[in-house]
């Protein structure tokens, strides 16, 4: 009996360890910070966009309240470029049409607040409908018929088969090289690239980068979402999370580098994630171990005393947690304001 209990305990440790390790942070922070430091045009555009967003929100205070509206104000045409490595449709890096359509349907449910299990934020009184939806394109740039899924054999790209696309490393294919192989006009479509690996990891084990997207204001050659093929499935947080970035949403821990640093929060409209119904929280990254914790925190919020943690951050699609069930009204206001920017309008 003792031996059996020991075996069960060891199996529990193994599975728990795997669950803690196999978690997907995103590449937004690294790429956004890099562009802000190295590209003055991008930094200037981000600041101009932020001013426009705040003006828009100030002029539309109703955005911060639950409107009860059913449906969407905006429908964005998307094209999904499946950058496979020559495998048949249905293999790991070449997901089926049904899988991709299911992921887009899931994205729409999360943005409409209709996915089963979604919850209302602490403030606002109801589940948030972001009033933005996404539709797979029906016409190609040359006006041909399409289902919005563009399959491209990318195995000829340098280092792509072995290591996929670079985010923080340089052993794979440069991002622009991959995007230049398959891009539809960003003024007419929102481009999503499904890739085999990011920084050499495909999302099947260990800690990995699941995807990344760019704020409005990035160049047309960069704009869009890149994500792992293994994450392009209904129920996975990566696609709603990255599309949140595409609509100017930060992580709620914006301004915190690790689990020992709280972000500034003197003014919730200009500090942190610029959203007032998400309390400041630390980035749950342990710099000593290099591991992210995706636990949903409870109890006292050390970054917002004397407040406790709330579901507004811990269950947020933009957080690094496993209990994602909501967006907030403040995030909706930013997303709606983002749709008024030239690069999204």
Give the pLDDT confidence of 308-325 residue by residue, as tens digits: 999 999 999 999 999 999
Cβ contacts of 253 within 8 Å, gap of 6 or more: 263, 272, 273, 280, 281, 282, 283, 284, 319, 320
Exposure on the CB side of residue 46, measured as CA atoms within 13 A = 20
User: How crowded is residue 165: how many other Cβ atoms within 10 Å of its Cβ?
Assistant: 30
> What does the pLDDT read at residue 24?
83
- Residue spans of the chain under pLDDT 50: 1-22
> What does the pLDDT read at residue 70?
67
Exposure on the CB side of residue 64, measured as CA atoms within 13 A = 14
* Residue pLDDT, tens place only, 67-105: 556 678 999 999 999 999 999 999 999 999 999 999 999
> What does the pLDDT read at residue 72?
81
**Structure-block tokens of residue 248:** 């100017």
> What does the pLDDT read at residue 62?
82
Compute the distance between CA of residue 261 and CA of residue 264 in angstroms, rounded to an integer.
9
| Percent helix / strand / coil, the chain, rounded to 5 | 30, 15, 55
**Structure-block tokens of residue 216:** 């409005």
pTM: 0.92
**Structure-block tokens of residue 182:** 């398959």
> What does the pLDDT read at residue 64?
77
Compute the distance between CA of residue 226 and CA of residue 192 in angstroms, rounded to an integer.
6
> DSSP readout, 90-122?
TSTTS--HHHHHHHHHHHHHHHHT-STT----S
Cβ contacts of 132 within 8 Å, gap of 6 or more: 72, 73, 74, 75, 76, 111, 247, 335, 336, 339
Compute the distance between CA of residue 314 and CA of residue 37 in angstroms, rounded to an integer.
30
State how far Cα 1 lies from the chain centre.
46
> What does the pLDDT read at residue 16?
36
Q: Select from 259, 334, 341 the least CA-distant residue to 292.
A: 259
């Amino acid at each position: 009996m003792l031996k059996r209990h020991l075996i069960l305990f060891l199996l529990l440790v193994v599975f728990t360890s795997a669950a803690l390790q196999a978690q997907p942070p995103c590449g937004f922070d690294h790429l956004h910070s890099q562009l802000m430091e190295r590209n003055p045009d991008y930094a200037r555009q981000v600041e101009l966009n932020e001013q426009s967003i705040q003006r828009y929100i100030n002029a539309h205070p109703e955005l911060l309240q639950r409107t009860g509206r059913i449906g969407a104000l905006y429908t964005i045409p998307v094209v999904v470029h499946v950058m496979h490595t020559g495998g048949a449709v249905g293999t790991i890096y070449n997901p089926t049409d049904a899988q991709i359509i299911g992921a887009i349907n899931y994205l729409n449910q999360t943005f409409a607040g209709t996915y089963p299990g979604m919850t209302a934020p602490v403030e606002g009184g109801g589940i948030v409908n972001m009033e933005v939806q996404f539709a797979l394109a029906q016409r190609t740039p040359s006006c041909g018929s399409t289902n919005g899924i563009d399959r491209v054999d990318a195995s000829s790209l340098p280092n792509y088969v072995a290591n996929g696309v670079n985010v923080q490393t340089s052993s794979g294919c440069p991002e622009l090289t991959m995007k230049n192989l398959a891009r539809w006009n960003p003024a007419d479509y929102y481009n999503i690239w499904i890739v085999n690996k990011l920084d050499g990891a495909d999302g099947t084990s260990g800690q990995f980068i699941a995807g990344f997207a760019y704020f409005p204001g990035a160049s047309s050659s960069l704009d869009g979402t890149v994500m792992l093929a293994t994450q392009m499935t209904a129920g996975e947080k990566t696609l709603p999370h990255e599309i949140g970035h595409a609509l100017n949403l930060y992580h709620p821990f914006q301004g915190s580098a690790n689990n020992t640093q709280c972000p500034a929060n003197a003014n919730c409209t200009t500090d942190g994630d610029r959203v007032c119904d998400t309390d400041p929280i630390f980035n749950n990254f342990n710099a000593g171990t290099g591991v992210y914790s995706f636990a949903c925190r409870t109890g006292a919020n050390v970054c917002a005393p004397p407040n406790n943690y709330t579901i507004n951050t811990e269950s947020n699609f933009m957080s690094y947690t496993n209990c994602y069930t909501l967006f907030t009204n403040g995030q909706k206001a930013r997303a709606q304001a983002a749709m008024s920017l030239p690069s999204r309008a």
